[in-house]
Amino acid sequence: MIFVGFALLIAAGLTLVIISDAGQLVGLEQEQVGQLIPLLLILILVASGTFGRRVNFSSIFGGAILWAGMFAVVIGGYSYRFEIIGLANRILGELTPGVAVIDENSGSAGFQKGLGNTFRMGARVNGAKIILIFDTGASAVVLTSSDAMAAGIDPDSLRFDVRVQTANGIGRAASIRLRNIEIGGIVRENIRAFVAEPGALETSLLGMSFLQTLQAYTVRNDTLELHG
C-alpha cells in the first residue's frame, strides 16, 4: 500500500512539474507528455500488485530507484524514438536488402537505408532478379556485366566505348536499351541504360534514366519512396 502511494506521489509530483514549467517536461510539450501518461499508468498498475504486502524502508527506497530508472528509460526511449526506429530500420534493411514496402493506396514503394548508408532495391530487369543501388549521380541505369548476363544481355557482343566515372575511377561502359524494369510494382519499358565493363562495378545502379520517369521520389528519415 505504501509503495503504491509512493508511485502515486511521484505521478502527482510530475504533474506539478508539468504545470509549473509552462506545459513542458524535460523538453517535451504537453501533447507529447500526454502520450506518455498511459505508460505511467501502466507502471502504477504494476505497482498496485504490492497491495497487502508489508515492506520496509529499504524496500521502498530500492523500489523508488527502480521506478525512477524505468521512468528514465521511458522518457529516453520516447525522446530518441526516431533515432531508435531509424537504427532498427537500417538493420532491417541490411537483413532484408531490397525488400519494398508497397502502399497500395498511393502506389508508392518504400525502401529502408541499409547499414552501408545506401538504398538497395530488389528489381526485375528484363525479368531477371537484380539488386540495384539508388544513385542520383548516375545519369542512367548501370548494370554490372554479370547482371547484364542475367538479364539476357551478352557483354561480349557490346562495344564499351562510353567513358563513365565509377568508384574505381574512370571506366568504360556500353550503351543499351532495357526491355523493362520493375521495382516495387512500378514498371517502365524501353529504359536507356549502360553495361559496365567487367570488373568496373560491384553493384548495379538505379540512375536518372529510370528515376526521371517517376512522379516523384523522396528521401525522409532514412526511407526512400518511389512514386510511380
Compute the average pLDDT of residues 27-37.
Answer: 55
Compute the average pLDDT of residues 201-224.
Answer: 93
Cell of 51: 497491495
pLDDT at 28: 53
pTM: 0.60
pLDDT band at 100 (very low <50, low <70, confident <90, very high): confident
**Worst-scoring range by mean pLDDT, 38-47, 142-151, 187-196?**
38-47
**Worst-scoring range by mean pLDDT, 59-68, 155-164, 203-212?**
59-68
Q: Which CATH class is domain 96-227?
A: mainly beta
The Cα 134–Cα 121 span in angstroms is: 7
Q: How confident is the prediction for the chain on average, in pLDDT?
A: 77
In the chain, CATH 2.40.70.10 sits at: 96-227
The dihedral sign for the CA sequence 83, 85, 90, 95: positive
